[in-house]
A and B are shown apart, each in its own frame.
Chain A
Amino acid sequence: MERNSYVCAVCGHHFAMTARQRLDHLADDGAWEEIGGDLRAADPLRFVDLQPYTDRIRAAEAKGATEAIISASLAIQGQPCVVAAMDFGFLGGSMGSVVGERFARGAEVAVARGVPFISITSSGGARMQEGVLALMQMAKSIVALDELAAAGLPFIMVLAHPTTGGVWASFASLGDVTYAEPGALIAFSGPRVIEQTTREKLPDDFGLAERQVEHGHVDAVVDRRELPARVGRLLAILERPALDETQSLASQLAQNGTERAARMAQALPSLSRRLRGRPEHAAADSGADSE
């Protein structure tokens, strides 16, 4: 199974993967470095439904994962990037404060290093046991992507089964390029909620990845076994030529704490080149500084 990327060799069914398995699968040589791995769920509402939230967290942690997402630095097909991979096995992959925070930190590391950011989602949506604070993680993920965009870095989405609710209605819908795994359910409202609310009878293929391509919400359905090569190829296509100097200037500035200047330097390579080149240009050139 592991050698076949957890895909059934006979029928092609894509089985669920943990976040660790996801990262092992995507990363060159299976090497990745976790970001924000010490963060753990809190219980701000002291929430109790059929059982206390703290019991649910403990039971989920006992299975080995520390939360429903792992952010990590790694390389895919030689391309350095940051990946935030979700894990449906941890409380339904639900997005609580730790998921929002690890996602945001992943994006911030991508900005600091000037590399693309990729997310693989498998989530039922916001984590209800954290109440309105879970809802706010949707906005936090948007802030993180806004920082990424300001730095001129791409965001690539891979939608795995299922991607629903608040995750689909926030960062998962905002990929520059969006792939989905075969048969993944992708929806804001799940089929059960829709059938209960509207009494509509839904077709069996409601919200599936293949239909989402038809409706224009997903770019391509990609077999998981081809995913590392497909993402690697996209990263290679998007790699910017001859911006090494600007990038290193940007990261230097970022390290010096002048984050805004770094963002500007990244967003405006021609301006930064001009600013840096001015003394030499003034001496050697007759003022032809436009490009």
Chain B
Amino acid sequence: MTVSTGSGGRRGRFVRRIAGKFHVADAASGDIWDAIQLARHQDRPYPLDYISRLMPDFEEIHGDRMKGDDPAIVAGVGRYNGAPLAIIGQQKGRDAQDRAYRNFGMPSPEGYRKGMRLMEICDRLSIPLVTLIDTPGAFPGAGAEERGQGGAIAHSMMMMLGLPVPTVAVVIGEGSSGGALALGVADRVVMLENATYSVISPEGASAILWRDAGKAKLAAAAFKPTAANCYRWGVADAVVPEPEGGAHLDHDEAARLLDGYLSRTIRELQALPIADRGRQRRERFRRLGAVRDAGV
């Protein structure tokens, strides 16, 4: 299986294959809806499923040292390819009880601040950072607002942008809204084959744009938030393949495929001088968008 790494002919072939597959999906909203269901499949691997396979020796940190600990975000350091690696990710639950405990993967400010605690450690101890993004959005609650949800997301982006160490953001499931992007300002942003990345969940968009909670399928078709499209828009640098039928069918194989991409990419990023990495990271996000120039 070839994994896109950002250069060379292999990337072209691989992306065409994926893009070809999703080209069909673009035409019919039902297929995009299927992709969204797959991205949210309850058997899909979550950060702790990848962590246990990629780095058996893992020390999870807890708490933001200010208020509390947020189970919707896991963060810690582990041993990976003979060196330390830090991971931050949104963690969903698998059964009803666990889902409630993890708050459905919707982080609170304490979660982002725990992440920033780890980023500060990465900076000081020169540890590369991988984020695993999977959230319907940051938690919308009065308490979260009072404790600074907006500022926590903004500061998390700013801190990630400035990290001197290699950083890779992987959208492993659904990446929705600023709650996802808070962990997404990295040297490389990649998506698993069946992951989605969007400004808002289809349900949220349905309620706001259609003023009708039942139009989520229409909203999904309008956003087209698939990995192939995000690659075309430049939002994702690469698409990492999943096991045949989807990551939920084979966690071991899903972790192996991600491992292949991560090992190579972290090595590539480490070979770059710090200043170049920082400049390229800034340029990457400075560029994104689509505008018309009426002056020309």
Contacts and interface: CB of A to CB of B under 8 A. Distances in A.
Contacts of A188: 138, 140, 144-145, 149-150, 153, 178
Contacts of B155: 173-174
B24 interface: no
Contacts of B205: 49, 128
Nearest to B218: A49
Contact of A139 (B144, B198, B288): B288
Interface in A240-291: 260
Interface stretch (B35-43, B69-77, B85-93, B219-227): B219-227
B196 to A, nearest CB: 9
B67 interface: no
A100 B291 CA distance: 10
Contacts of A40: 291-294
A169 B142 contact: no
Interface string B264-296: 000000000001000000100110111111111
Given A189-B149, A194-B142, A142 B154 contact: yes
* Most B CB within 10 A of own CB, among A145, A147, A207, A217: A217
Given A42-B291, A135-B177, A139-B157, A196 B286 contact: no
Chain B residues touching A, range: 35 or more
A165 B222 CA distance: 20
Interface stretch (A25-33, A78-86, A197-205, A230-238): A197-205
15 contacts: A42-B292, A50-B210, A96-B289, A98-B291, A126-B177, A136-B288, A142-B158, A142-B161, A165-B178, A169-B153, A186-B150, A188-B149, A188-B150, A194-B140, A198-B140
A215 interface: yes
B289 A126 contact: no
Nearest to B222: A47
A139 B208 contact: no
Contacts of B181: 135-136, 138-139
B199 A132 contact: yes
A200 B211 CA distance: 21
Contacts of A50: 209-211
B295 A169 contact: no
B232 to A, nearest CB: 10
B30 interface: no
B258 interface: no
A229 interface: no
Contact of A132 (B185, B197, B292, B295): B197
A216 B66 CA distance: 14
A132 B235 contact: yes
Nearest to B213: A196
A75 B287 CA distance: 29
B146 A133 contact: no
B295 to A, nearest CB: 3
Contact of A140 (B230, B233, B285): B285
A73 interface: no
Interface in B211-265: 211, 218-219, 222-225, 230, 233, 235
Given A166-B177, A170-B153, A133 B233 contact: yes
